Amino acid sequence: MRCLPRESGDPARHGLSIDHRRPWNTGSPAGACHPAGQGPDRLAGDDNGGPEMTDTDTTRAMPRSAANAAPLLSVRNIEVVYDDVILVLRGLSLEVPQGAIVALLGANGAGKSTTLKAISGLLKTEDGEVTRGEIIFNGERINGIDPDKIVRRGIFQVMEGRRIIADMTSLENLRLGAFTRSDNEVGADIDMVFNYFPRLKERTGLAGYLSGGEQQMLAIGRALMARPKMILMDEPSMGLSPLLVKEVFAIIKAINRDLGVTILLVEQNARAALSVARHGYIMEQGKVVLDGTADELRDNEDVKEFYLGGAGDQRRSFKNLKSFKRRKRWL
Ligand code: ATP
């Protein structure tokens, strides 16, 4: 299996200074510095910081590589029910290795956001429950734990539609992201976020007046303020122009590379997601129907047809017989 080419990192492109590229996600306590060569760059056999792959890796290369080191997140055969009766996830399993970006793709209603909420504990706020299976993060079972405790364990979800606090400033929103912290480096991390997103520093008014792209950047910045081990991103491309999608995804990639933050990325924009992810899972009707490396998914005829626009306008119609047969073949 071929590795994705490593891109030349250019911190200046993102307005970064070297001082702000402080990895905090290689298992060390928050804020710890890493000796030369022992930060995320050492993990990064690829540009996403995932485990290095060799030519002998198979189609399931990511989970197999991860077998050498336990994955940071392991979702095992979970079932999710809303309101005690609505079964939405039906035996869903996936793994996210430390330091990787993994994409979770699928059509509307497949259960992607539900999967993220099951991991972050936010299901509870919507009368949802993991009724079967388990979710292991950093070696510990986390299903059933309250969302604030899950944040403290290192998982931060960037919700679909941004969900920033509209009548607070960007700065206040960022401070809010650090609610779990008691160290004295919050100010330095705000500077770091402003280095990733310089335009947020210029916009001193209420966050509700920010553009859609700026709100997305603020939501990601707020997540970084928690110094998470892992960010769950729900549709960061939603409502953004193609140019902004490119910009936001370049920053997602830079954050993963520079800080070693592991990312599980839910997207309907499969093309954008596979441009930054190392591995992807495709969901339909509450379960994973396909997974593989980003290259494999991009080359897969079904993925091209359903998610990469290979069939033009026709791909939207499941009444189309050929598409329907393809879909059945997956299930
Ligand atoms: P989208 O991209 O449209 O958000 P998705 O793949 O993220 O789609 P989910 O939002 O997880 O899908 O929804 C999966 C299914 O669960 C849908 O049928 C949806 O109607 C249902 N669902 C989601 N949230 C709830 C809820 N709070 N109560 C009951 N059913 C829900």
Domain extents in the chain:
11-68+98-124+145-299
Measured by CA distance, the residue closest to atom 15 of ligand 1 is 109
Query: Among 4, 42, 7, 5, which residue's Cα sits nearest to residue 23?
Result: 42
Q: Which residue has the tokens 């017989």?
A: 321
Query: Separation of 111 CA from ligand 1 center, angstroms?
Result: 6
CATH class of 11-68+98-124+145-299: alpha beta
Q: Say how far apart CA 127 and CA 293 lie, in whole Å.
A: 34
Give the nearest ligand 1 atom to 113 CA: 7
109 lines ligand 1 (CB under 6 A): yes
Give the nearest ligand 1 atom to 268 CA: 2
Q: Say how far apart CA 243 and CA 121 lie, in whole Å.
A: 33
113 lines ligand 1 (CB under 6 A): yes
Give the pLDDT of residue 160: 76
Query: Separation of 113 CA from ligand 1 center, angstroms?
Result: 7
Count Cβ atoms within 10 A of the Cβ of residue 2 and give its class: 0-12 exposed, 13-18 middle, 19 or more buried: exposed
Query: Separation of 89 CA from ligand 1 center, angstroms?
Result: 10
Measured by CA distance, the residue closest to atom 1 of ligand 1 is 108
117 lines ligand 1 (CB under 6 A): no
What residues form DSSP beta bridges with 284?
A: 287
61, two tokens: 């290369």
Pocket perturbation via mutation, ligand 1, pick of 94, 113, 125, 288 by most ligand atoms within 8 A of CB: 113
285, two tokens: 């009707």
114 lines ligand 1 (CB under 6 A): yes
Say what the alpha-carbon torsion angle 96, 161, 16, 46 is, to the nearest 10 degrees: 20
The tens place of each residue's pLDDT in the chain, 331 residues long, gives 323 233 333 333 333 333 444 556 654 433 333 333 333 333 333 333 333 333 333 333 344 444 456 899 999 999 999 999 999 999 999 999 999 999 999 988 999 999 999 999 999 899 999 999 999 999 999 998 999 999 999 999 998 766 788 889 999 999 999 988 888 899 999 999 999 999 899 888 898 889 888 999 999 999 999 999 999 999 998 888 888 899 999 999 999 999 999 999 999 889 999 999 999 999 999 999 999 999 999 998 888 887 776 544 444 433 444 444 455 444 4
Give the pLDDT of residue 297: 94
84 lines ligand 1 (CB under 6 A): no
125, two tokens: 């706020």
Give the nearest ligand 1 atom to 286 CA: 14
